[in-house]
């Protein structure tokens, strides 16, 4: 499970691509034949996101909120609010990554 999520979150693989990567690993390393499907990876990713969204946040006065309202396909809209503690701001010249940000509810 962790390897599939790392392929998606860290390596930028799609869910289908990460499932296919497992197929390559299983065949080349003679591992057991249980390969997670893309829909299984999607469920794991949703569970991880739900946990990160609902877990208790640190109480602090230095939270910065990033608000993004995006219109996707058709009538589907998404409001995303991410938080970052000012004390955990990366050094000057270093870009923010998804690991730096915390989904807020």
Kindly report, residue by residue over 45-89, the tens digit of the pLDDT.
999 989 988 999 989 999 999 998 876 667 777 888 999 999 999
Give the pLDDT confidence score for residue 43 in this predicted structure: 93
pTM of model > 0.75: no
Give the pLDDT confidence score for residue 71 in this predicted structure: 62
Give the pLDDT confidence score for residue 16 in this predicted structure: 92
Give the pLDDT confidence score for residue 72 in this predicted structure: 67
Q: H/E/C letters for each residue in the chain?
A: CHHHHHHHHCCCCCHHHHHHHHHHHHHHHCCCCCCCCHHHHHHHHHHHHHHHHHCCCCCCCCEEEEEEEEECCCCCEEEEEEEEEHHHCCCCCCCCCHHHCEECC
Give the pLDDT confidence score for residue 56 in this predicted structure: 92
């Amino acid at each position: 499970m962790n390897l599939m999520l790392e392929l998606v979150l860290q390596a930028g693989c799609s869910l289908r691509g990460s499932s296919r990567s497992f197929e390559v690993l299983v065949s080349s390393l003679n591992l057991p034949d249980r390969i997670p499907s893309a829909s299984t990876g999607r469920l794991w990713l949703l569970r991880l996101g739900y946990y990160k969204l609902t877990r208790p946040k640190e109480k602090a006065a230095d939270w910065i909120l990033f608000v993004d309202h995006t219109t996707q396909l058709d009538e589907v809209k998404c409001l995303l609010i991410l938080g970052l503690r000012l004390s955990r701001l990366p050094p000057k010249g270093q870009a923010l990554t998804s690991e730096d940000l915390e989904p807020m509810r």
